[in-house]
Amino acid sequence: MTTIAHRDADALALRLDEARRDYAGLKDRGLKLDLTRGKPSPEQLDLSAELLTLPGGRYTALDGTDCRNYGAPSDGLRELRDIFAPVLQVPVDQLLAVGNSSLELMHDCLVHALLGELPGAEGRWADQRVAFLCPVPGYDRHFALCARFGIDMIPVPMTDGGPDMGVVEDLVRSDARIKGIWCVPKYSNPDGTCYSDETVRRLSAMETAAPDFRIFWDNAYAVHHLDGEAEVGDILAACREAGHPDRAFVFGSTSKITFAGAGVAFFGSSPANVAWWRANSGKRTIGPDKVNQLRHALFLKDTDGLRAHMRRHRGILAPKFAAVDRVFSEQLGDTGLATWTRPKGGYFVALRVPDGCARQVVRLAAEAGIAVTPAGATHPHGNDPDDRVIRIGPTYPTLEELEQIAYGITVCVRLAGYERLTAQR
Ligand code: PMP
């Protein structure tokens, strides 16, 4: 990434001086800004304000269920599953609306596979040494789940079309300990990558040494477009056609559609896996919060209503992502110090700084009053071996704050980058 200018000692010294001056100026601003997590902004939450008035005295679902009471349907309300089945690419009879958090469902899948037997398994995972493939950079909470349950994590590099499938295929073919892979197939966290058709095909068709291998298909950003409307292949159909019908677990939620943490989560899979889920979750809960599901169904109305709602989110978010790109381009464009993603959807931008600088950038930003996600969070055990990737979540701050944050980060990148180049001379 180093440009000619950096090989010239005088030019480098000049740039380092400038960066030091700008950093001192940044500290003088006395900022107190937070960019640590990808949360919807209050303005986005206001888009769903009507939810707080719903179901407005109504309590019967379309099938006549009294949502106030215990009882069927334990799979969740049909009218809500109908809305999400097309976007999550799961046949509605195989899609359950349960709980308020998809992460919780991923957690439960792991727990049930550890404590009981998955369809096709030769034993409980708790009795074996288990490993998961972790495409990197990836989502820290996936890695935290593995760490929590003593599941070994094997990093796999991401490419422009998803995980490097050559590496994935070689590993799963030869190592029966590898029981799963984490996938965020659309607008991945944090790179914004969309899995190619080729990746979906190879994931579904590959030979795995473990008979109970599962793809944890976390489709958290299925409808969260910023530019265009990307399509990703249908993993359940691909697995079925490849003769591995039970290979994929599909997850989704309304956390970044309606209210984060107060929405509805979804689990979809093959009929055998759904039966396995029902048998396990039936012990854990008498049923989901049907009143919240009714409220969501009334609010979103249908799949077109959901898409229209997401266009309103896009109206708020697209200018924020554009602002980050603009400030980064203005301040870093000709430095050769950084590259960053321009995602067409999702919640994050991945900023890549010179090797060995990410932690220093985050430290400098913190000292200047800008809290950024810890460097390394995008890798298992918080360890980015190149110390290069920083996750930027532009959604929560106001546009004005975001411009300050983005500028502040570029100052820290210049300071850390030029200091390192100077030290390396
Ligand atoms: N998966 C991914 C990839 C995410 O980015 C997030 C939220 N940051 C989640 C899952 C969590 O979703 P939920 O609120 O449904 O647990």
Mean pLDDT of the chain: 96
Residue pair 73/65 in contact (Cβ under 8 Å)? The answer is yes
Mean pLDDT of all residues in 397-402:
96
Nearest atom of ligand 1 to the alpha carbon of 218: 1
Mean pLDDT of all residues in 275-297:
96
What DSSP element (H or E) covers 413?
helix 399-424
Terminal Cα-to-Cα distance of the chain (whole angstroms): 15
Look at residue 72 in the predicted model and tell me its pLDDT: 83
Q: Please, which residues have CB within 8 angstroms of residue 418's CB and are 6 or more apart in sequence? A: 6, 12, 15, 16, 19, 337
- Of 208, 155, 202, which Cα lies nearest the Cα of 177? 208
Q: What is the CATH number of domain 61-301?
A: 3.40.640.10
255 lines ligand 1 (CB under 6 A): yes
Nearest atom of ligand 1 to the alpha carbon of 254: 15
In this structure, the residue with its CA closest to atom 8 of ligand 1 is 38
In this structure, the residue with its CA closest to atom 2 of ligand 1 is 220
pLDDT at residue 284 is higher than 50: yes
188 lines ligand 1 (CB under 6 A): no
Quote the ligand 1 centre to 37 CA distance (angstroms). 11
Mutate to test the pocket of ligand 1, among 45, 102, 143 (most ligand atoms within 8 A of CB): 102
Quote the ligand 1 centre to 249 CA distance (angstroms). 15
Strand pairing report for 152-159 and 131-136: parallel
Nearest atom of ligand 1 to the alpha carbon of 184: 3
Quote the ligand 1 centre to 290 CA distance (angstroms). 21
CA atoms within 13 A on the CB side of 109: 32
Domain ranges of the chain: 4-45+307-424, 61-301
Pick the CATH number of 4-45+307-424 from 3.90.1150.10, 3.40.720.10, 2.40.50.140, 3.10.20.310: 3.90.1150.10
Tokens of 219: 């489709």
Nearest atom of ligand 1 to the alpha carbon of 102: 15
Sequence-distant contacts of 109-114: CB under 8 A, at least 24 apart: 109/214, 109/216, 109/249, 109/267, 109/277, 110/145, 110/149, 110/151, 111/149, 112/276, 112/277, 112/280, 113/179, 113/212, 113/214, 114/149
Tell me the CA distances in angstroms from 41 to 46, 213, 260, 369, one per residue in order. Answer: 9, 37, 10, 20
Look at residue 425 in the predicted model and tell me its pLDDT: 84
Cα three-residue angle 161-165-169, rounded to 5 degrees: 165
Quote the ligand 1 centre to 274 CA distance (angstroms). 21
In this structure, the residue with its CA closest to atom 4 of ligand 1 is 220
Tokens of 390: 């920083």
417 lines ligand 1 (CB under 6 A): no
What DSSP element (H or E) covers 281?
helix 271-284
In this structure, the residue with its CA closest to atom 5 of ligand 1 is 189
Look at residue 3 in the predicted model and tell me its pLDDT: 54
The string of pLDDT tens digits covering residues 224-265 is 999 999 999 999 999 999 999 999 999 999 999 999 999 999
pLDDT at residue 71 is higher than 90: no
pLDDT at residue 351 is higher than 60: yes
Mutate to test the pocket of ligand 1, among 96, 139, 395 (most ligand atoms within 8 A of CB): 139
Chain centre distance of CA 128: 28
CA atoms within 13 A on the CB side of 54: 18
* Complex ipTM value: 0.99
357 lines ligand 1 (CB under 6 A): no
208 lines ligand 1 (CB under 6 A): no
Look at residue 4 in the predicted model and tell me its pLDDT: 44
The string of pLDDT tens digits covering residues 169-216 is 999 999 999 999 999 999 999 999 999 999 999 999 999 999 999 999
258 lines ligand 1 (CB under 6 A): no
pLDDT at residue 317 is higher than 90: yes
